[in-house]
Amino acid sequence: MRIEVKNIDGNPVNNLRRFGYSFQRQEGDERSFIRPLAAAGYPRFHMYVKMDGADMMINIHLDMKKETYGENTRHHGEYGDEGALKEEARRLKVLLG
């Protein structure tokens, strides 16, 4: 799910930390953040964030469990605009303005 926030105030990393997200890593101009929903680390919200001037572009999904590697790599995530992911997107829009 993609979210665009125009003219964000303040430091994006600090804003997301305040909302429960932890910075994970940076690859090029894209930053990765997670917000676990359980003590074991999964399920968790996982987002990739890019800045375009003062605008923040968020690509978020819900990881249900850790990815599986081997002959067939599988990513156990939800990307649709429904359920918990829809509610989290709504929460982020309100918090980020």
- Distance from C-alpha of 43 to C-alpha of 64, rounded to nearest angstrom: 4
pTM above 0.75, yes or no: yes
Place of tokens 């375009």: 52
Task: Map out the domains of the chain as residue ranges.
Answer: 2-96
Q: Residue 83: pLDDT band by 50, 70, 90 thresholds?
A: confident
Q: Which CATH class is domain 2-96?
A: alpha beta
- The mean per-residue pLDDT over the stretch 52-80 comes to 75
- H/E segment holding residue 87: helix 83-96
Q: Mean per-residue pLDDT for 66-83?
A: 63
Q: How confident is the model at residue 71 (pLDDT cuts 50, 70, 90)?
A: low
Report pLDDT for 75.
56
- With 70 as the cut, is the pLDDT of residue 3 above it? yes
pLDDT tens-digit series, residues 15-56: 999 999 999 999 999 999 999 999 988 999 999 999 999 899
- 42-48 contact pairs (CB < 8 A, 24+): 42/66, 43/84, 45/21, 45/85, 45/88, 46/77, 47/16, 47/21
The chain-wide mean pLDDT, for the chain, equals: 86
